[in-house]
Structure 1
Amino acid sequence: MAEFFHKRGKHRANEGLSSVVDFLLANARLVLGVCGAAVLSIATLAVKRLIDRATSPPDEDDAKGESWKELNLLKATSHQQRQPPRAALSQPITPLTSAPVGPVRTHPQMSPQLSAPAPLCLTFQEKLLAFERNHVAIPEAHVALAKQLAGDIALELQAYLQSKFPELPFGALVPGGPLYDGLQAGAVERVRLLAPLVLEPGLWSLVPGMDTVARDPRCWAVRRTHLEFHPRGSSPWDRFLVGGYLSPRILLELLRKALTASVNWPAIGTLLGCLIRPSVASEELLLEVQHEHLEFTVAMLMVIPGSSADDRLLLAWPLEGLAGNLWLQDLYPVEATRLRTLDDQDAGTRRRLLLLLCGVCHGHPALRQLDRGHLTQVVLRLSEEEVAWTEEALGDRFLQALELLVCNLEQANLPCHFNPSVNLLGTLREETIDDIGYALYSGLQAPESLL
């Protein structure tokens, strides 16, 4: 009963608010004119919806994601209201004197003519560079040590694979990734340990993911061919076939069990002077490495490299559904190459911008769903629109990247720079997209809060 009266009272309050809003809108046309009334109507409607949503219980709320989009509407509306009329542009502008922020306090023993030194006010650009120094940059000693340990782990895993699976022709394990390309933002990124599969030429062909039942443009299928001349069993990789296609899921399961159950990691860690633990919970092949105060993750990636004329790199990745037996195309090599080429052409700061975005998103609970792939595509898209990439413009480019990302989130679509048919936001839930959009919009109102 109490709940009933609570809802009834709130309903009456809402009716009162609605009547006031309707009265304002009815008389706004007389005071502001048609255009002013239209602007006020849009803004008032958005505010009314926000108030209704705030005063409604959780089961009566609308979709959460609409709130930040409505705030974006309010921002655009306020910009329209601040635009001066055309007739006023020719009028002289009276200079305004800035009012003091607060009362000036002096020390009792200080002379009235002497004032305390003004506090140091940093610009957003200066705060951004300070965040880069304190949270993004990695000491050279840590980089060198991580590379050394990753190389030693690669040699140990190479020897293990040769002894455990002598019949499987793995290529040389090669460490790489952002740490080796100068694109490592703190301890965010993993060291990539590529384990290439050596496939027999002429026995395998690549099929685009869109031509399979999965209809996934991100992926490729690896089909076994020439079975009439080379029947099953002719290739050591035939044991991993599913429906005539090389299955990355079976390969991942085989190596994951081997790395978590068969390898003597305590002994290897003692030999290398560090602690190595395999990630049991993850379907990926991950190794957590700790050396005194240095911690990082090594990701072992089984890959199918392209031919000499094709730089395509396919990853064995734990995909879901019909794409479970498809190989995911790895965009990191082409992304890193493209950013390096653009920066070398004009001595730009695109890679520094990417590192800042990665550092900010990793440290924010709602933005952690944005990985390097999303942020790289935003920087590449921004490179098509902006030409100034000097260090002095780094702060402006940072804010523009966030605005561009908000626009993509509003549409729930972030097309891939290298394959526009791929929506990089397609794997995120609608609730996640709304949370990210609201956090980014709030951050744009006070960018320093993101640092």
Structure 2
Amino acid sequence: MLFSVETLLLCLAELSQPIPLPSPEPQRCDTEPLQRRKRMDLCVLTFVERLQQYYRTRVCLSAEEVSVSQQRALEIATEIQAFLHSKHPDMPLGDMTLAGSLLDDLQVVKADHTCLIVPLQLESSLWTPIAGEDTFLGHPQYCMVRRENLEYFPRGRSYWDRHLLGGYLSSRLVSEQLGKTVMESMNWPLLTGTLECEVRPVLGSPELKLEIQGLTKSSYDSGESFYITVLPTVRLGEMTLTAQREITGSFDYVWYQSLYTSETARLAALDKADSGVRRKCLKTLKAVCRNCPSLRKLNGSHLSNVILHMSEKETDWSESAFADRFQQAVTELIGYLEMGILPSYFKPNVSLFQGFTEDDIDEMGFMLYCAVTEPEILLI
């Protein structure tokens, strides 16, 4: 079929018109979840770089955050000490001090807790610490404090005789007295107004614990809390014992021998000797376990002991070996979980996994096993 000249001209005119482009879709807001962006960021880095980035951005606390937390905790400790001295002037107590990971540069993710050591002054001639191995419980960390020389120095000679239970100093009775004085008698609303942060006792807990809100404006807005655990402490000879009923349970006369100070000092000494990264590795593992729900039951004591055991056979703890030691620690943890036993470095007869159920061990083991081939999953 032939087209007329008019038809051809009309077609050419239509073809000469610009073809309309499809209207662009309205630009969408960046609603990509934060977790997905983190995964994409991790994909462009080597594992060594990812681990270093994780340490800088997710593990370490800012100097300002640590300073503010320590200062507020110290102010509260000063108020508690002054109140105790005024309420019980005859109670022989030493100077109270703050202690724990916040003071030792081992706290990670956020500054949210510390301990207040309340030292009981006991007469060394009247009181003797009994090592856990020598008690009927046979637990190396469950110790007792026995009253001596009652025939020559009868009951009442020592202030602490009022807390005797069956011839032994009762951690429960000591905790109860301090609890009634500090938790129930102090004027917390007045202290809140003085310190410009909200301070209140945590009721219904076996621990003597205080909750502080509003250390900083950001923490107040986010509802984050800072906790101070009050620890009655006995030092006799080379033994340091604390009243921690949340650990010792229903044994009213048992005192807990914490190994935290020994473990921390040993790690620091080893790192100082070879400029090592044991503490850096420990802090990174602590942050990983804190951020991963499946691993939250692994605490600083578990991880410190894994690294201490590793240090017995591993010599290279240089900065360049940081990623290797981190992955090695994951592998070592899997081995201990498979055995169901993690021996304490300083008391090998103690398994630090006691109290874990089979389900706990399976859950942690599975997560760590997956991380052997894909370690990046621990850094998300």
- By the TM > 0.5 criterion, same fold? yes
AA aligned opposite 1:301: L
Q: Does 1:240 align with 2:163?
A: yes
Q: Does 1:150 align with 2:73?
A: yes
Name 2:305's counterpart in structure 1.
377
Task: Compute the displacement of 1:424 (Å).
Answer: 0.9
Residue deviations 1:357-379 (CA, integer Å, cap 9, x gap): 11111111121111111110011
Distance in 2 of aligned mates of 1:188 and 1:274: 16
Q: Does 1:159 align with 2:82?
A: yes
Task: Compute the displacement of 1:155 (Å).
Answer: 0.6
TM-score, structure 1 as length reference: 0.70
Task: Compute the displacement of 1:386 (Å).
Answer: 1.2
Asked whether the equivalents of residues 65 and 111 of structure 2 are also in contact (C-alpha less than 8 Å), the reply is no
AA aligned opposite 2:242: L
For 1:379-394, list aligned pairs within 5 A. 379-394=307-322
Distance in 2 of aligned mates of 1:345 and 1:231: 50
- 2:243 maps to which of 287, 292, 316: 316
Task: Compute the displacement of 1:247 (Å).
Answer: 0.9
Name 1:138's counterpart in structure 2.
61
Q: 1:219 to 1:274 in 2, by over 3 A?
A: same
Name 1:271's counterpart in structure 2.
194
- 1:293 maps to which of 218, 221, 237: 218
Q: 1:415 to 1:258 in 2, by over 3 A?
A: same
Residue deviations 1:314-358 (CA, integer Å, cap 9, x gap): 111114466442111121111111111101111111000110011
Distance in 2 of aligned mates of 1:366 and 1:165: 46
Q: Does 1:428 align with 2:353?
A: no
Distance in 1 of aligned mates of 2:209 and 2:367: 30
Q: Does 1:449 align with 2:377?
A: yes
Q: Does 1:255 align with 2:178?
A: yes
Distance in 2 of aligned mates of 1:300 and 1:337: 22
Residue deviations 1:114-166 (CA, integer Å, cap 9, x gap): xxxxx972111111111112211111111111111111111101011112222
Q: 1:368 to 1:281 in 2, by over 3 A?
A: farther
Asked whether the equivalents of residues 100 and 115 of structure 2 are also in contact (C-alpha less than 8 Å), the reply is yes
Ranges in structure 2 where 5+ consecutive residues have no aligned partner: 1-41, 220-224
How many pairs align?
Answer: 330
Residue deviations 1:97-122 (CA, integer Å, cap 9, x gap): xxxxxxxxxxxxxxxxxxxxxx9721
Name 1:398's counterpart in structure 2.
326
AA aligned opposite 1:435: E
Q: 1:439 to 1:250 in 2, by over 3 A?
A: farther
- 1:197 maps to which of 120, 139, 151: 120
Residue deviations 1:383-436 (CA, integer Å, cap 9, x gap): 112111122211111111111111111111111111111111113233222222
Task: Compute the displacement of 1:277 (Å).
Answer: 2.3
Which piece of structure 1 moves more, 382-391 or 368-377?
A: 382-391
AA aligned opposite 1:150: A
Distance in 2 of aligned mates of 1:359 and 1:331: 21
Which piece of structure 1 moves more, 131-140 or 158-167?
A: 158-167
Give secondary structure in 2 for the equivalent of 1:325.
Answer: coil
Name 2:38's counterpart in structure 1.
none
- 1:351 maps to which of 257, 279, 287: 279
Asked whether the equivalents of residues 277 and 289 of structure 1 are also in contact (C-alpha less than 8 Å), the reply is yes
AA aligned opposite 2:243: A
Percent of aligned pairs with the same amino acid:
40
Q: 1:219 to 1:341 in 2, by over 3 A?
A: same
Distance in 2 of aligned mates of 1:416 and 1:203: 31
Quote the RMSD (CA, aligned, Å).
1.8
Name 1:129's counterpart in structure 2.
52
AA aligned opposite 1:131: Y
TM-score, structure 2 as length reference: 0.83
Distance in 1 of aligned mates of 2:339 and 2:328: 17
Give secondary structure in 1 for the equivalent of 2:294.
Answer: coil
Asked whether the equivalents of residues 209 and 326 of structure 1 are also in contact (C-alpha less than 8 Å), the reply is no
Distance in 1 of aligned mates of 2:357 and 2:112: 23
